[in-house]
Amino acid sequence: MSSPSIGAEPPYAGAPPDGEQGRGRAYLVTAMFLAPAAILLSVWILYPLIYTIWRSFYDSSGAHFIWLDNYKTLFSTDTTRTAIKNNAIWVAVVPALVTAIGLVFAVLTERIRWSVAFKIAVFMPMAVSLFAAGVIWRIMYQQEPSRGALNAVSAAVVDRVKQPGPLSDAFPSGTKLTGTPQTGIVLKTPVRPGSVALLPLTGIPPDQVPAGSVQARQPAPKAGAITGAVWRDFKPGGGTPGKLEKGEVGLPNVTVVLRDSSGKSIGSTTTGPDGRFVFAGVKPGAYRTAIGSATFRQPYGGVAWLGAKLINPAIMIAYIWVWAGFSMVVIAAGLAAIPRDTLEAARTDGATEWQVFRRVTVPLLAPVLSVVFITMLINVLKVFDIVLSVAPSSVQANANVIALAMWRTSFGGVNDFGLGSAIAVFLFLLVIPVLALNVRRFRREV
Amino acid sequence: MATATAAAAGEEAVVVPDPREKTSARILRILAKGPLNILLIIIAVFWLVPTIGLFLTSLMSANDFANFGWWKVASNPHLATWNNYSNLIHHTNIPSSLWVTIQIAVGGTVLPIIIASLAAYAFAWLEFPGRDWTFIIVIGMLVVPLQMALIPIFSLYNHLHLFDTVFGLILFHTAFGLPFAIFLLRNFFIGIPKDILESARIDGASEIRIFLRLILPLGLPAIASLAIFQFLWTWNDLLVALTMARNTQPLTVAIFSNLRQFGSNIDLIAPAAFFSLAIPLVVFLAFQRYFVQGLLAGSVK
């Protein structure tokens, strides 16, 4: 039409219908390309989106429109409130930590020769399902130091610093002793120089009898000294409690403390193989003999990772273990894209490594860091499988998160589709800012 | 590729010494790296040990698990036994669960790739009204939590008799994999030089022909990354299978149903869990390059 030679234009007879037809056919081809995706996305995502929003305004039976009541329940029930509170902690802690760890790893691996091997090691858990990762960490978190690797490591350290006592399970035999293993076990009656203090203990299993112990012997009284014995007051067939008999062994290496009348410790000694001990050169007066609490110190029992108090940090550690590799690899790629000259220029100008990192590297990486952070934010909001596999059922209520509460409410026995829908919508509302961000980024690109 | 580039850059920083640097300064620099290397070795060990722990646990009887930790097996190899694995294969439903998982993972990978590459081609190279805003809707769907679909699809599957079927699970994974797949592939396809397409069109090739003969072969790297993602995602899924199936149990659900008695079922849980992660691990190690590429191309999900 804009042709300069309108009059000379030859009749274009067949063209318009042909073009129309051609365009029609082109649209048909386009529709064929798009139809399968359009159908699936409409039926599995768009329709459910609308249905779930609509359903969230109805009660559990679906018959009564209750407006916002499900949302009120969501914020007033303990279960869901715990879930929201826990998820808030997740959001506050995990994305920032994963991003920071990834950044540190990416920067550090730049300086070593075996960075590829390191990256594969850290990245590997990405291939493992979050569910299996949970199983892996549940094994790591077993409480007894003999079974759980984490507690075994801490026990090795703690038991070295505070050695467990030789007789951690013993308790007094007979009625003449008082006190607890925590405070030390004391003879009820005072002793004076020249008298004998008998300290019988029981509750010592045969395998805990110290090596090298021999038949216990009755100590002889000695002037100016307090003598006594500590022994295992048990022999096959029984025996009399409090009485030193044949077949009962002495307990060596037990720390015995001498206290004056005010309770102050004035001396200590250890027992011999037959359980005997001597405090020599004791001034006249009334004293007390006690077995110190160190003798009864329990070995380190381990941290209750899977208990109610620590279950959330425990799950988060497992989760960070999985995702740190993702963060590291994405940030390392961003780091590789930073022009070397920029960093070198800063170094030539006399900047320290820390200044280069803080003032040049991190600002240049900001876009990459924000991508990692936002990705983790979305992931953390939807956290589900790993909670189910790390947390034993007894503490799952303490570890509840929004996605888990949604599933429990809808399919875990309660089967309240109204409240379940409301929880899902709440989750959806939380990710909408991210959705808006993605859309804006795309529009800028186009 | 990204790891390789990063490694090359790192190596450069290490190997090429500053020409003005004195020998003493160089020795000092290498010595200063000692603690860094040790620190990184400790970190790498921390990242590897838990998985090794699972493997060694999978070789222990439930009785042994109640008494000592898996590291005992490492120092006393005679404590290890393959009994758990032979029990797993002969006396449990784990092999049938493995078959379910394989079906879901293969179907849930192939189907979305076919459907998404068709749609991505249309978004990249075909003109149609409303192209941009429909693509924006697809991007919006990227972050829709699948929790939003659980209740309606559960009801729908009951009506359509898709509940508790492998096909139903595959369709669910396909639909929720599509937004990411379309996004990733469209961005890749749009980078294919326009001349190639134009000349093919002038030669009279149909769009379908162009798609099959040009776009798919050229888009293979992107399709490979996508395939790995989708495979890992469907293989590792718990939530969808737990909701949309009862007797059709993939590995994750089968393990989950034994989790309540963790200690006494450990001789089943540990080998099954190791089983379930060994295959994705092999896939991941073999195709790591594509995985990283996909990660970098589409880390918006």
Tell me which chain A residues have a C-beta less than 8 angstroms from the C-beta of B113. none
Are the C-beta atoms of B94 and B255 separated by less than 8 Å? no
SS3 A65: strand
Q: What average pLDDT does range A90-103 have in this prediction?
A: 97
Tell me which chain B residues have a C-beta less than 8 angstroms from the C-beta of A45. 141, 144, 148-149, 175-176, 179
pLDDT of the residue at B53: 94
Q: What average pLDDT does range A74-103 have in this prediction?
A: 96
Domains defined along chain B, listed by start: 11-87 (no CATH), 92-297 (1.10.3720.10)
Tell me which chain A residues have a C-beta less than 8 angstroms from the C-beta of B138. 41
Q: What average pLDDT does range B59-81 have in this prediction?
A: 89
A residues 149-178 closer than 8 Å to B (CB) = 149, 152
Vertex A206: Cα angle to A204 and A212 (nearest 5): 100
The residue in chain A having the minimum alpha-carbon distance to the alpha carbon of residue B142 is: A435
Tell me which chain A residues have a C-beta less than 8 angstroms from the C-beta of B14. 111-113
Answer yes or no: do B40 and A108 touch at CB < 8 A: yes
Are the C-beta atoms of A148 and A302 separated by less than 8 Å? yes
Q: What average pLDDT does range A414-437 have in this prediction?
A: 92
pLDDT above 70 for B58:
yes
pLDDT above 70 for B5:
no
Structure-token pair, residue A354: 């820390």
User: How far is the C-alpha of B13 from the C-alpha of B34, rounded, in Å?
Assistant: 16
Instruction: Give the list of residues 6+ apart from residue A23 with CB closer than 8 angstroms, or none.
Output: none
Of A228, A174, A168, give the one whose Cα is nearest residue A201: A174
Are the C-beta atoms of B56 and B73 separated by less than 8 Å? yes
Our CA-based measurement puts residue A132 at a distance from the nearest CA of chain B, in whole angstroms, of 6
Answer yes or no: do B207 and A33 touch at CB < 8 A: yes
Most confidently predicted of A352-366, B149-163, B261-275:
B149-163
Of A220, A215, A212, A219, give the one whose Cα is nearest residue A232: A215
Structure-token pair, residue B198: 């134009």
- Note whether A378 contacts B: Cβ–Cβ < 8 A: yes
Q: SS3 letters for A398-444?
A: CCCCHHHHHHHHHHCCCCCHHHHHHHHHHHHHHHHHHHHHHHHHHHH
- Note whether A303 contacts B: Cβ–Cβ < 8 A: no
Tell me which chain A residues have a C-beta less than 8 angstroms from the C-beta of B97. none
Q: Which of B14, B143, B277 sits opposite A434 (nearest CB)?
A: B143
* Residue B21 pLDDT grade (very low, low, confident, very high; cuts 50, 70, 90): low
Q: Which of A55, A330, A389 sits opposite B259 (nearest CB)?
A: A389
User: What are B148-190's pLDDT values in tens digits?
Assistant: 999 999 999 999 999 999 999 999 999 999 999 999 999 999 9
Amino acid type, A94: V
Which pTM does this prediction carry?
A: 0.82
Q: What average pLDDT does range A197-222 have in this prediction?
A: 82
Q: Which of A128, A417, A424 sits opposite B281 (nearest CB)?
A: A128
* Residue B298 pLDDT grade (very low, low, confident, very high; cuts 50, 70, 90): low
Q: What average pLDDT does range B107-127 have in this prediction?
A: 95
Q: What average pLDDT does range B121-129 have in this prediction?
A: 92
pLDDT of the residue at A396: 92
**Percentage of residues of chain A with pLDDT beyond 70:** 95
**Percentage of residues of chain B with pLDDT beyond 90:** 57
User: What are B216-254's pLDDT values in tens digits?
Assistant: 999 998 999 899 889 999 999 999 999 999 999 999 999
Domains defined along chain A, listed by start: 69-152+305-445 (1.10.3720.10), 171-296 (2.60.40)
Our CA-based measurement puts residue B15 at a distance from the nearest CA of chain A, in whole angstroms, of 9
Vertex B48: Cα angle to A115 and B280 (nearest 5): 95
- Could you report the predicted ipTM of this complex, rounded to two decimals? 0.86
Q: Which of B44, B69, B174 sits opposite A40 (nearest CB)?
A: B174
Q: Which of B36, B176, B242 sits opposite A112 (nearest CB)?
A: B36
Mean pLDDT, chain B, integer: 87
Answer yes or no: do A428 and B148 touch at CB < 8 A: yes
